[in-house]
Chains A and B, each alone.
Chain A
Amino acid sequence: MEDRVTNILLSGVGGQGTILASDILCSVFQEVGYDVKKAEVHGMAQRGGDVTTHFRFGKKVYSPLIKYGDVDYLVSFELLEGLRYVNWLKKDGKVLLNNQETYPPAVTRGTMKYPENVVKTFKRFFNGNVYAIDGLGIAVQCGDSRAVNIVTLGAFSNFFDIKEEVWERNLLEHLPKKVHELNLKAFKEGKKAI
């Protein structure tokens, strides 16, 4: 195992299930033998605020927080929330964007504009390392818009050399039985999306 710690920043909007996605990441990387740490801010996330989770894995992880500018992978469940962390990425960082827009209050009230061409902006800085998916569309096709987090996780799993069965087993361990089938499908479809 290499000594280097890998830094993953997940960002999104309260209610999108980013925390569940990061819980699954945590148990997957623990299972394959890494030290893992994850940090998130609770409290008001359910009230529509932004949610970010720092997830780190490696041989030995000290800080639960990623250092500014040290992000290897940015996984964003919402475009504006992705753009907010563009400065956090390393030069050769990789970006996975769920192509979804949720307007913050200043935009819904008409006092500010939602940023345009977010994917393009990312491509300007990271060229071929930017991947965008229509997570919501895929989730709806799978049968429930709420599965967008698992679709995104499925797409993200492509970046790592970990067996699909490990992902799927940990996924199911975090979910109630009645939504197993739906989420397995969402994961697989997400994996195919990039």
Chain B
Amino acid sequence: MEKVLQGNHAIARGAWEAGVRVACAYPGTPSSEIIFVIGTQYKKDIQAEWSVNEKVSLEVASGASIAGARAMASMKHVGLNVASDPLMTLSYTGVKGGLVVVVADDPYAHSSQNEQDSRHWARFGKMPMLEPSDSQECKDFTKLAFDMSEQYDTPVLLRTETRVSHSFSIVKLEERRESAMPLGLNKKDASKFTMVPIYVRERRPLVEERMRKLEVFADEFNYNVMEINDPKIGVITSGVCYNYTKEVFPEYSYLKLGMVWPLPKKLVSDFYKKVKKVIIVEELDPFFETEIRAMGYKIFHGKDVIPAIYELSPEIIEKSLKGKKYKAPKERIKAEELPKRPPNLCSGCSHRPMFYALKKLDLFVFGDIGCYTLAAAPPLNAVHTTICMGAGVGEAFGAAKVLGKEGLGKACAVLGDSTFLHGGVTPLMNIAYNRGNSTTIILDNRATGMTGLQEHPGTGFTITGEPAPMVDYEVLCRALGIEHVRKVDPYRIKETMEIIKEEVERDAASVIITVNGPCMLHRREKRQFEHAFYTIDTDKCRGCTMCLEIGCPAISWQEVSGDQAITKDGHKRKGVVQINRLQCPGCGVCQQICKFEAIIPGQA
């Protein structure tokens, strides 16, 4: 049976067909769908979980592997930074049941804090890496990765990127085959899995030996494919770049690498014998280029013309390789001058009043990873750093250290509930232990919001919807040693501002937790607002634009003239605002900001 599947869905399907028993992830674009699909469609055969973070994901998967099961951890590129600690040593221990780590890169940082080329992890960690180019290969390579993992006693990396993970193409479905390996723990394996120096030194040469064997395997690997067409020019490429290049230069010869580490040395040498000039097309870093040049080959074109930043596309490759001969399509209008449509906090979002309050208090906000990075954009402009999950907590403390008493009342850290549990608990403990005085604000919107409302240890439910213990943030913070823990309702702006002011000015560590502010897209948890929607009393609106400062998508500006350019009580105005009833959920934030009582509850 054939079906159109998303790349991530095909990886999930591949894991199921490969007999995987345990699959773990922390959500991260563009990888989130893999475990979501497993947790919903394949939960009968695979135990899926949203782990607290990627390091934990990989450790749980590794434990399952040690007990003989096939296991998978999937994450976005920056997630592998978090999981790299266990990964680098798992390369030494090897596996029992097949262990596959899926890493999804995000060139152009569509939804990420950086661009990273994860192929470097394979070379760095001395592990094989496969890279599919479409959904069929996503499924096939996932299955092959498990076989390779067991055959070569190694974790296997499967690298995708946004355009493979999030593209759809036709996949041939097959049945699940259970792994033949018996489950169980064996104490005799201790020297293999206990990486104390004496055993490390035993394992170390085995890693090198494994890589040598894998190099031989790479030359025979069915998915390292040579296509000889025009012998004048040959392209070495992999993944989606193969599809892009094939699209614009179908006449060239190709060496398409399904396995991107280790490289097939003999195959590369054969390719050089068959074609005159070699071009290397790869997204992000000159990874193949560096390696192939080091093998002693000449490269006709590579990163000298093809960009090493952002994502590639058929026209970028065509333009780069054709140079002056490239003919751009006719430009009909200047499209870049049109108004942009950036993502925005939803109307009614509980983050909006919070960041409005932080802005009014003129605080320097150490931000974090989540929807609230949207508050960095105008008109709120209320986030001043974003680095990685949990970073803001430690950074606010570091800044407080050097600023001393001068810094009191000037800064705070802000992060979401899921981000706090992922990477904010340890830096908060650090603040308490080292007697810091910074303030951490936890925005509890009851879900891992930005990636699509996944569950986490604070929501009370697992990935499959089973009830689970719910983290009590207040008790947790107190247990870490934070004495001052307050709760605020972010929709009450004045009260929120007062509490934040008290805490940031206090010469002691503090935490503020928002309550009753679930994500507006949440299906299970909804805040009941007092009124269904708000509307403008056009007689009173003076067009002061104060309410536009919160960037609510439901509020818009309209210029007025003539009779309309004066309010009923005689004030001049240039325009009035309008509230789109269909978009207004009645949160009442704008009503609290209006100084002229021009925003009033709507009549249904």
Contact = CB atoms under 8 A, between A and B. Distances in A.
Q: Do A and B come from one complex?
A: yes
Interface of A: 13-14, 23, 26-27, 30, 35-50, 61-70, 80-81, 83-88, 91, 103-110, 112-115, 121, 125
A91 B315 CA distance: 17
B399 interface: no
Interface residues on B, range: 35 or more
A86 B333 contact: yes
A64 B335 CA distance: 23
Between B162, B339, B371, B545, the greatest number of chain A beta carbons within 10 A of the residue's beta carbon is seen for B339
B268 to A, nearest CB: 23
Interface string B127-169: 0000000100000000000000000000000000011001111
Interface of B: 2, 4, 29-30, 110-111, 134, 162-163, 166-170, 240, 242-244, 246-248, 313-315, 318, 328-333, 335, 338-346, 371, 374, 379, 450-452, 521, 545, 548, 551, 553, 555-559, 575
A109 B166 contact: no
Given A44-B111, A67-B315, A121-B333, A39 B166 contact: yes
B247 A67 contact: yes
A109 B557 contact: yes
B172 to A, nearest CB: 12
Contact of B332 (A46, A68, A86): A86
22 contacts: A14-B343, A23-B168, A37-B168, A40-B167, A44-B111, A46-B452, A47-B374, A48-B344, A62-B243, A63-B246, A65-B313, A67-B314, A68-B315, A69-B330, A70-B329, A80-B339, A83-B338, A84-B338, A87-B330, A105-B344, A108-B556, A109-B551
Contacts of A13: 341
A84 B334 CA distance: 9
A58 to B, nearest CB: 11
B336 to A, nearest CB: 9
A80 B339 CA distance: 8
A14 B331 CA distance: 26
Contacts of A65: 163, 244, 313-314
Contacts of A27: 4
A109 B379 contact: yes
Contacts of A47: 343-346, 371, 374
B551 A105 contact: yes
Contacts, number: 164
B335 A63 contact: no
A107 B556 contact: yes
Contacts of A87: 329-333, 335
B2 A69 contact: no
Nearest to B549: A109
B556 A103 contact: yes
Contact of A42 (B30, B330, B346): B30
A43 B165 CA distance: 12
Given A67-B248, A67-B318, A83-B335, A49 B4 contact: no
Given A44-B111, A106-B339, A112-B339, 12 more contacts: A27-B4, A30-B4, A35-B169, A36-B4, A42-B166, A47-B371, A49-B342, A67-B318, A68-B315, A86-B332, A104-B340, A105-B344
Nearest to A103: B556
Contacts of A121: 333
A110 B240 contact: no
A100 B521 CA distance: 24
A143 B374 CA distance: 34
A21 to B, nearest CB: 13
Nearest to B5: A26
A88 B575 CA distance: 37
A110 B548 contact: yes
The 10 residue pairs across chains A and B that have the minimum distance between CB atoms: A69-B329, A43-B111, A110-B557, A49-B343, A108-B556, A44-B343, A47-B343, A64-B167, A63-B247, A104-B341
A41 B162 contact: yes
A125 B110 CA distance: 31
Contact of A105 (B134, B246, B335, B342): B342
B346 A48 contact: yes
A30 B346 contact: no
